[in-house]
Amino acid sequence: MLGTDVRIGEACALRWSAVDLEAGSLKIEATLVGVPGEGLAIQEFPKTTAGRRTIALPAFVVDLLQDRRRLLRPNAESQVAFPSPNGRLRDPHNTSTDLRRALDRAGFTWVTSHVVRKTVATRLDEAGLSARRIADHLGHNRPSLTQDVYMGRGLASPEAASALQRLR
């Protein structure tokens, strides 16, 4: 998640057919949902209309996905990149619980999946991406939401100091 910023449901619904390891990208086309009386299902659209997107992958994520693909025995039923231990669809709620336990054991009790998304947004902002490009990466319809909720605030800005120095 830290290398892609996908939501848990998007990660659970990610099919290998949406991953292009040669191009270093993946398409977010769906999310995993619970259907009352039926169980888990892949919803063929993400949380928002802007959620349908293609994400460029950092090299370390491409390497991790290549290793994962080699180690997994693809399940003809789902063909998802992150199946449950028994090869079925992975429940986003169980995944969230597993993530919470792993973070707690590692001493990161304050980290949540939302903190991961905020961290990615802040890092992209620090790298100079526009709010529109960050919103597109996160799958947000409105850059204002990205700026108000996801991007870090109160960070020291060397650029601001330089601009003010020129006033001297």
For the chain, 168 residues long, give each residue's pLDDT as a single digit of tens.
Answer: 888 889 999 999 999 999 999 999 999 999 999 899 999 999 898 887 878 899 999 999 999 999 998 888 665 555 899 998 888 899 999 999 999 999 999 999 999 888 888 888 888 888 888 888 988 888 888 888 778 777 766 666 677 777 777 776
> Does the residue 40 lie in any domain?
yes
> Does the residue 122 lie in any domain?
no
> Does the residue 155 lie in any domain?
no
> Does the residue 14 lie in any domain?
yes
Residues 75 and 85: their CA atoms lie apart, in Å, by 11
Cα radius of gyration (the chain) = 18
Apex 155 CA angle, 133 and 108, nearest 5: 90
- Write out the residue range of the structural domain in which residue 28 sits: 1-90
User: b/e for 71-108, b at 16 or more Cβ within 10 A?
Assistant: eeeeeeebebbbbbeeeebbbbeebeeebeeebeeeee
> Does the residue 80 lie in any domain?
yes
CB contact at 8 A, 26 and 20: yes
- DSSP letter (8 states) at residue 151: S
Residue 110, CA distances (Å) to 28, 36, 43, 103, 117 in order: 27, 32, 30, 8, 14
pLDDT at residue 48 in the model: 79
CB contact at 8 A, 63 and 54: no
Total of domains in the chain? 1
CATH number (domain holding residue 28): 1.10.443.10
Percent of the chain having pLDDT more than 90? 43
> Does the residue 144 lie in any domain?
no
> Does the residue 125 lie in any domain?
no
- How many Cα atoms occupy the beta-carbon half-sphere of 167 within 13 Å? 5
CB contact at 8 A, 46 and 29: yes
pLDDT at residue 122 in the model: 86
Amino acid at 127: A
> Does the residue 132 lie in any domain?
no
Q: pLDDT for 32-71, tens place per residue?
A: 998 999 999 998 988 878 788 999 999 999 999 999 988 8
CB contact at 8 A, 9 and 92: yes
